[in-house]
Structure 1
């Protein structure tokens, strides 16, 4: 429930800020809010596999993904501030957050989809437990 609820809350927060501040989509502040909302959703989508990597003690994966995401955020900040000095700072921050979230998303999802390092019981442990209980104790 965390993933759908997080997406709904993120979208509701973006709509609320637009309504509360009476923003138009052409405003740099409004664009930064939308980009930050996208970054939040990207990080939310990466979170299940990030937690799974923690539960499976895949510390090297977590280290690699976090390092790559942080370096990408730093390089994005450097490029956007040094090369594009006319860009609004709120948009620069939002884009760097999006780079971080996208790197986390692709790193975690890519590893788990390509390596098949998990079983369905890792993703849905309660279902496995209920089937185990039903099979062993009721028969």
Structure 2
């Protein structure tokens, strides 16, 4: 499959995404961008150090390529971890704001209440009334919650 075909497929998929899918992609994109900042800073530092020390630019280029390849595989493995969402459907009992972006949501799913610690995506739950039926996709490893539907 050529790059052009993959881009066309990705572009078409982005146009047909639902609201929750767009929200999930936005949250995961921001998190992965934060993880990519350190390698970018390291690459710039390598260029500056090699320029100040007046060493061969080819060595700096080789080190930057190694950093880029390592970052690519690291980000690729991290994206797999972000794709594991568990669905929760039930009545939203309570949403508490613990910090600037940290929330705790309690959902009554069947007879047992479920407590969700939310670091990303909790602001969508603030405007929901008590005992309203919601469907939430939740990633317990990274505490990402995506509000799928509310009734």
TM-score, scaled relative to structure 2: 0.32
Higher helix share: 1
Higher strand share: 2
Greater relative contact order (Cα < 8 A, sep 6+):
1
TM-score, scaled relative to structure 1: 0.34
